[in-house]
Every structure is written in structure tokens, then in C-alpha cells.
Amino acid sequence: MGKKIIDIQSPKKLEKRLKEKIITPQLKEPEFKVSLPKIKHKKPLFLIIIVLIATWFICQFTLSKATIEIWPETEIKTFKTNVTIAEGIDNPDFSNQILPGKIFEKEKTFSEEFSSSGKKLIENKAEGVIRVYNEYSTSPQVLLATTRFVSAEGKLFRSIERVTIPGGQYEKGKLVPGYLDVRVEADKPGPEYNIGPSTFSIPGFAGTDRYTKFYGKSFESMQGGESKETPKVTEEDLQEAKDALTEKAKKEIKDFLKSDIPSEFVFLEGALETKIIETFSLAKAGMEIEKFNYQVKVQSRTLLFKKEDVENFAKNFITSQIPDNKKIHEPSLKINYSPGTINLEVGKIILNLEMESKIYSKIDENDLKEGLAGKKSAEAQVSLEGQPLITKAQVELWPFWLKRIPENMEKIKIELRLD
């Protein structure tokens, strides 16, 4: 049988070894069991909770507010009155219903070319000189005015005045004819009588021995014969030109005047005075011209007033006509005005006014805020809708989780809805 070996140790060594076995794992345990990451995650979460709580307190007690929309009871009222617009007044006088006015004036000359509608027949007889010869005798021959001369072309001319044709003279036994230059004109007007140099006979001597002994010659062309129509200015042309240009001038002078008026002034068509100062044309009735020029000098003036003055007067007037517990809704104000009596010579207009505006009952916002402060939203809604002067109300709180209207009246906003 083998031997059994037993390692016998001293009690001190054994105790020491047991302690080392037990303590050693306990000393190393914190390295594994203490979780640092868990501590890191808890810290931000804590901060977030703190921030949320702080934000809630700020919103609840600092940024909280209530907006209360109110639709008060309204009615549409109309009013009529008149006001005097007067030149020379510096400031409005509402008590006497007088507003300041200002005269605006414009003067301008208008000119335009017009066509003549008339026609004139221009007829002129050709004229010229015929040298009339006397080969008949040495005695002179008298020819009366309008003595006829016929050209080789068959055109008839007449002497303009009474003349005496000298007799001929004998030279070396031969009769040298006497002669005289006689001014003649064509028997009829027309360009066909503008003939060139020709020979002429005297029909009055036909059938006598003088017929071949008295004759004429022209050495230059006959001129001036014509027969044509030409434009002519008529009395009707002048009148129509005046009427047309006057109408145009009145319209355009108004546009010129309006372009000079500042935007703050009101222009009334019925308060415009336009007059013709002068009409003029060099053309006269009967003048033979195709076109003529006509001029019209026109003056336009009006009395204007400021729109702001009328609006302020209307507000003042309406306010004086309604009860003290009522108020005018200024954006709804409508004003129609028309001129009554106009006297631009003295610078006055009586202006007729028709005014229309929405009127609503006054609401004391401070009293309303005092009555609503601290109330629950639903309670405030019921209280508002029960007011006789309020037709509709709406309460909005911020932030959204608020249930009551803030106690601080400065955080309560009242908004009137009149649209």
C-alpha cells in the first residue's frame, strides 16, 4: 500500500492564504462593477429635465399672454350736410363748416391746320400784242375797242381799247404800210388761247377791199389763258375750324390743368371754368388757299380743396351726430361730394356731402381686462358672449397649455374686429 502524503501547514500560513483568496477578488471588483458610462448618461438627462422645468416656469409666469378678439355691435349710418370751400382761408373751421380752397389756373394757345372745302373757278383770258398793218391807204383807220382778230388757228381775240392805225406812206412809188401794236385778249378764257406767234385777220372787214389790206401779226405767244378750279376758304370752314379747335382746347386744357394738381387735392369736374380768350386766323373767307391755320387761346381755372380736410371734417361731423357711447370706424368712412353753388370769381364753392360710416359701441378695455383677468378660458368666453354690446368673441391663450387668463393685465391684449 502506497504512502499518503499530507502537506501540513502552519495555521498562520493557512489563514494568510485564505485571506489572500478572499480579499483579492474584492479588491478587483470595483474595476468591473462600477459603471462610469451610466453616470455619464444620467447627468445630461438631469440637465434636460431642469431646462424643461425652467422653460415651463418662464412660459407660465413670464411669457404667458392672452389675446381676446371682440366683434362689437355695429351699424351703418349715413349723413348729409354741406361745407363751404373758400379761397384765402388758411385753416379748416369745422364749427362754421368752412374749409380752405386754392385756385388753380392754366392758360394755353392751341393751333391746328385745316383744309379749305370751297372751290373757286379760276378763268383768265389769254393776252398778247398784235401788230396791225394798214396797207389800204395813207389815211389812218380807227378800230373800236373789242375789234375782233382771228388767228390762223381760228382763235378769236379782241382789242382791249380803241386805237387808230396809222396810214401807209409811199416810198419810191410803193405804199409802205403803216402799223400799230395793239393789245388784245382772247374772246374766251382757257389755256387753248395760249397760242404761239401767228397771223390775224379782221372779220369786220370781210366782204370789203379792206379785208386783205388790214391784217395783224404777233411775234410772241399769247399768255395767261386758263380755266381751273382752286380751293377756297369759306365762312363755314372758318366756323368749323373754330368750333373743332375750341372743343379740343377745352378738353386738353383740362388735362393740362389736372396734370399740375398735387395728389392731395380733389378735382371736381363740375367746378371747372373754361373760357376762350381769343380766336384768330390769318385766313379770310374767299382766300384761294388749300390749307389754313387757326388758333384758339383758352383759359381754365378751378377751386380745389384737400381730401384730408374733407375727411377730417366728416369724422368731426359724424362724431358730433352720434351718442357719446358710440364711435366711428374710420376705415369704413365713405364720402361723396358734388358741387352746389360755384362762384370762382369770389373763390367759393358750396360742396354737398353725403357720408357713410360704420358705427360701433365703445368698449372700455381696462374694465374688460379687469373682469377677465385670472378667469378660465371657457368662463371668459361665456362672459364675453353675454355682453349686450358684443356679437362675437374669441379667447386665445399662449402657451397652449394655459387654462386661465393671466392675472397681469399687461399680458392681456384686446383686439377689436370690425370687418
Structural domain harbouring 408:
64-74+362-416
- Whether 68 and 145 share a structural domain: no
pLDDT of the residue at 363? 85
- Whether 161 and 224 share a structural domain: yes
Residues of the chain with pLDDT > 70, as a percent, come to: 85
Does 366 fall in a domain? yes
pLDDT of the residue at 21? 46
Question: What would the mean pLDDT of 352-375 be, rounded to a whole number?
Answer: 90
- Whether 156 and 70 share a structural domain: no
Lowest-confidence segment of 37-46, 96-105, 388-397 by average pLDDT: 37-46
Distance (Å, whole) CA 415 – CA 417: 6
- Whether 131 and 199 share a structural domain: yes
Does 128 fall in a domain? yes
- Whether 133 and 208 share a structural domain: yes
Instruction: Tell me the pLDDT tens digit for each residue of 291-339.
Output: 999 999 999 999 999 999 999 999 999 999 999 999 999 999 999 989 8
- Whole-number Cα distances in Å, 361 to 70, 260, 383: 12, 43, 17
Does 367 fall in a domain? yes
pLDDT of the residue at 330? 93
Does 38 fall in a domain? no
Does 100 fall in a domain? no
Are 164 and 140 contacting, i.e. CB atoms less than 8 angstroms apart? yes
| The three grid cell numbers given for residue 132, joined into one nine-digit string | 396791225
Q: Which of 212, 229, 246 is the last residue of a domain?
A: 229
Q: Which of 229, 244, 266 is the last residue of a domain?
A: 229
- Whether 70 and 138 share a structural domain: no
Does 184 fall in a domain? yes
pLDDT of the residue at 55? 55
Instruction: Tell me the pLDDT tens digit for each residue of 406-418.
Output: 888 888 998 888 8
- Whether 157 and 68 share a structural domain: no
- Whether 220 and 125 share a structural domain: yes
Does 347 fall in a domain? no
Does 256 fall in a domain? no
pTM of the entire structure? 0.58
Q: Which of 229, 263, 296 is the last residue of a domain?
A: 229
Total domains present in the chain: 2
Distance (Å, whole) CA 56 – CA 74: 41
- Whether 125 and 207 share a structural domain: yes
Are 231 and 116 contacting, i.e. CB atoms less than 8 angstroms apart? yes
* pLDDT higher at 387 or 296: 296
* pLDDT higher at 187 or 271: 187
- Whether 206 and 141 share a structural domain: yes
Given a cut of 50, whether residue 32 has pLDDT beyond it is no
Supply the mean pLDDT for the chain. 86
Residues of the chain with pLDDT > 90, as a percent, come to: 62
pLDDT of the residue at 27? 42
- Whether 69 and 166 share a structural domain: no
Given a cut of 50, whether residue 26 has pLDDT beyond it is no
Question: What would the mean pLDDT of 176-193 be, rounded to a whole number?
Answer: 97
> Peptide bond before 189: cis, by omega within 30 degrees of 0?
no
